[in-house]
Amino acid sequence: MQQSVYYRQNLSGILGIEKEMSEKYKIDKENIPEHIAIIMDGNGRWAKKRTLNRIKGHRAGVKSIRETIEVCREIGVKYVTLYAFSVENWVRPKEEIKALMSLLKEFLKKEVKSLNKNGIRLSSIGKISEFPKDVQEELKRAKQKTKDNRGMTLFLALNYGGRDEIIEGVKKLYKKVLEKKIEIEEISTEIFSEFLYTKGVPDPDLLIRTSGELRVSNFLLWQISYSEFYFTKTLWPDFRREHLLEAVADFQKRKRRYGGIGENNVS
């Protein structure tokens, strides 16, 4: 019911973006990435270029988050994972961390209505238990309020680290082996994936990183084994719908062979 209401209310927007996809970006709507992961980089540099403090850059980046989520929902992406706060980010100045926590709480409070309107379910990955209690509670409320949405799932990677996730997965799997619930010979990539934060979620088809940096920064190390990478020099606060559509259009030009061979036996 909620999904049908969304389509009735947003029919003109959907028709508009379909025209934009087909005419301007030549996007095949039958080949949309199921899962897009994004490293949102460049908030600090964006602020510095404007002689603003870093917090202004983080706040400006929220608009990019909102627009990116909406466009992904409109074009049919099923999962979006945003790298919002890494385990390494705790080394930043205390005032910046405090401001980031406040901004996260503000985002969670304000965006629930929009998420529900667009049929988006909110979830998270990472060590949330290490966040301040008030932030944990706000995140819990937002998840609860959006849990029945089925249009798209938005994952916020919070206090997340790819290496930490793998180590935690190994510990959980080892415990099952000790309990004789899994035999060592049974362990496979599929079984190990069941012990990661992203259990049951398809791996990202497309990984986007903004700001011109060419690295993955400890993000979804297991899951991006066969993801297509798209790097742009655009700083995250400047990232808009056209940049997302350009990334999707570029993704559709790739030949994904997963270790096999392509046409004419080209590897």
Mean pLDDT across 149-165: 98
In total, how many domains does the chain have?
A: 1
Q: What does pTM read for this prediction?
A: 0.90
CATH code for the domain of 144: 3.40.1180.10
Q: Which residue did the predictor score with more confidence, 266 or 39?
A: 39
Give me 1's structure tokens.
């019911």
Q: What is the pLDDT of residue 8?
A: 45
Residue 224 CA from chain centroid, whole number: 12
Per-residue confidence band for 22, with pLDDT thresholds at 50, 70 and 90: low
What residues act catalytically? 41, 89
Question: How far, in Å, CA of 177 to CA of 181, rounded?
Answer: 6
Check whether 35 has a pLDDT greater than 80.
yes
Q: Give 208's strand partners.
A: 38, 230
CA dihedral for 169, 170, 171, 176, sign (positive or negative): positive
Q: Give 155's strand partners.
A: 81, 123
Mean pLDDT across 141-169: 98
Check whether 260 has a pLDDT greater than 90.
no
Residue 70 lies in a domain: yes
What does the pLDDT look like over 52-110, one tens digit per residue?
A: 999 999 999 999 999 999 999 999 999 999 999 999 999 999 999 999 999 999 999 99
Residue 188 lies in a domain: no
Q: What is the pLDDT of residue 24?
A: 82
Beta-carbon neighbour count of residue 225 at 10 Å? Answer: 12
Q: How large a percentage of the chain has pLDDT more than 70?
A: 88
Is 40 within 8 Å of 152 (Cβ atoms)? no
State the angle between helix axes of 241-251 and 54-75 in degrees (0 to 180), rounded to the nearest 10. Answer: 50
Residue 214 lies in a domain: yes
Question: How far, in Å, CA of 259 to CA of 267, rounded?
Answer: 8
Residue 177 lies in a domain: no
State the residue range of the domain holding 103: 18-161+202-253
As a whole number, the mean pLDDT across the chain is: 92
The letter for the amino acid at 66 is: R
Residue 143 lies in a domain: yes
Check whether 265 has a pLDDT greater than 60.
no
Give me 55's structure tokens.
């917090």
CA dist list (Å): 219 to 16, 27, 263: 34, 27, 32
Beta-carbon neighbour count of residue 144 at 10 Å? Answer: 11
Residue 26 lies in a domain: yes
Residue 97 lies in a domain: yes
Q: Where are the beta strands (DSSP E) in the chain?
A: 35-39, 79-86, 120-125, 152-160, 206-209, 228-231
Q: How large a percentage of the chain has pLDDT more than 90?
A: 85
Q: What is the pLDDT of residue 62?
A: 97
- 213: which residues sit within 8 A by CB, 6+ positions away? 41, 231
DSSP state of 262: -
Mean pLDDT across 2-16: 49
CA dihedral for 213, 219, 221, 225, sign (positive or negative): negative
Q: What is the pLDDT of residue 3?
A: 47
Per-residue confidence band for 25, with pLDDT thresholds at 50, 70 and 90: confident
Residue 248 lies in a domain: yes
